[in-house]
Amino acid sequence: MERLQKIISRAGAASRREAERMILAGRVQLNGQVVTELGVQAEAGQDEIAIDGQVLQLAVPRLYFLLNKPQGYISAVKDDRGRKTVVELLPEVKEYIYPVGRLDYDTEGLLILTNDGEMMNGLLHPSYEIDKTYIAQAQGVVKQGQLQKLAEGILLEDGMTAPAQVKLLKQAKDNSSCLVQLTIHEGRNRQVRRMLQAVGHKVLKLRRVGFAGLDLQGVAPGSYRQLKPEEVAALKKFAGVQK
Ligand code: URA
């Protein structure tokens, strides 16, 4: 609970002194009742505070997290099948946050969570072409020609994929599997798995290691960190958000 004048000034509607004068002048309402005393307290975010009948919009703090998602979590806030969700990996965060896009249940790696809907929409909009980098462990030997096809664009059941950056990182000595790095800017459902499947290779393991210039450095699987202000600013720029 806080004094009304403090909440009003924090919302940017007036200075604390001005807010006091407004209260004394009978211009402020708390849950529909005019308040004329200075000691009245309210709960920001729960009580409705109005000035001259205009309801105050209280700024909700914007939160931005980078999570290293492990396998076995669904990229959602709730799951009706009772599976564990990515938000359960941030138990200290009490605000309502949601993942920016989706990683499959079995995919690991970099996932942004936020309560900034405007930024989320920008980051997910195809026109902004945000780079996402994945490392896939693919079955067998992925040959040069197949890497080239993946890079140039390949036909999936929902159309051709856009050109991608593709690199063979490692081949297992016994040729049972290899590590392929792919950077794509589309975000179709199960895209990387389907791209590799289209050239005949099952994905055994998939991890996202990069998203819009961010990486997983210093963030162990299952843990998370808050984004730095400069990282948030860069993401907003990518997402076409002005402020
Ligand atoms: N591509 C996939 O196949 N799965 C993901 O989780 C992300 C991209």
Instruction: Give the three-state DSSP class for 231.
Output: helix
User: Are residue 144 and residue 94 in the same domain, yes or no?
Assistant: no
Which is catalytic among the residues 52, 79, 80, 104? 104
Global confidence as pTM: 0.80
Structure tokens at 173: 């000595």
Rounded distance from Cα 188 to ligand 1 centre (Å): 8
User: Are residue 106 and residue 226 in the same domain, yes or no?
Assistant: yes
Rounded distance from Cα 150 to ligand 1 centre (Å): 15
Question: Residue 84 maps to which CATH number?
Answer: 3.30.70.580
**Which pLDDT does position 243 carry in this prediction?**
67
Taking CB atoms within 8 Å and a gap of at least 24, the contacts of 153-156 are: 154/195, 154/198, 154/199, 155/198, 156/188, 156/191, 156/194, 156/195, 156/198
User: Are residue 223 and residue 103 in the same domain, yes or no?
Assistant: yes
Q: Atom of ligand 1 at shortest distance to CA of 103? A: 6
The predicted model gives 48-75 an average pLDDT of 92
User: Are residue 84 and residue 147 in the same domain, yes or no?
Assistant: no
**Which pLDDT does position 58 carry in this prediction?**
78
The predicted model gives 11-21 an average pLDDT of 86
Q: Atom of ligand 1 at shortest distance to CA of 132? A: 8
User: Are residue 51 and residue 86 in the same domain, yes or no?
Assistant: no
pLDDT of residue 4 exceeding 70: yes
**Which pLDDT does position 174 carry in this prediction?**
97
Most confident range (mean pLDDT) of 7-16, 74-83, 100-109 is: 100-109
Rounded distance from Cα 209 to ligand 1 centre (Å): 12
User: Are residue 156 and residue 182 in the same domain, yes or no?
Assistant: yes
User: Are residue 48 and residue 149 in the same domain, yes or no?
Assistant: no
Is 104 noted as a catalytic residue in this protein? Answer: yes
Query: Within 6 Å (CB) of ligand 1, which residues are found?
Result: 103-104, 107, 190-193, 206
Rounded distance from Cα 23 to ligand 1 centre (Å): 55
Q: How many domains does the chain have?
A: 3
Which of 105, 108, 190 to mutate to test ligand 1, by most ligand atoms within 8 A of the CB atom?
Answer: 190
Q: In this structure, how many other beta carbons lie within 10 angstroms of the beta carbon of residue 151?
A: 16
Q: Which of 191, 197, 216 is nearest to 104 (CA)?
A: 191
The 10s digit of each residue's pLDDT in 22-43 is 999 999 999 999 999 999 999 8
- Domain with 184, as residue range(s), is 131-211
Question: Residue 204 maps to which CATH number?
Answer: 3.30.70.1560
Q: What is the DSSP letter of 212?
A: T
Q: Atom of ligand 1 at shortest distance to CA of 195? A: 3
User: Are residue 107 and residue 224 in the same domain, yes or no?
Assistant: yes
The 10s digit of each residue's pLDDT in 107-121 is 999 999 998 888 999
User: Are residue 95 and residue 135 in the same domain, yes or no?
Assistant: no
CB of 186 closer than 8 Å to CB of 130: no
**Which pLDDT does position 138 carry in this prediction?**
98
Bridge-based pairing of strands 2-3 and 41-42 is antiparallel
Across all residues in the chain, what is the average pLDDT? 94
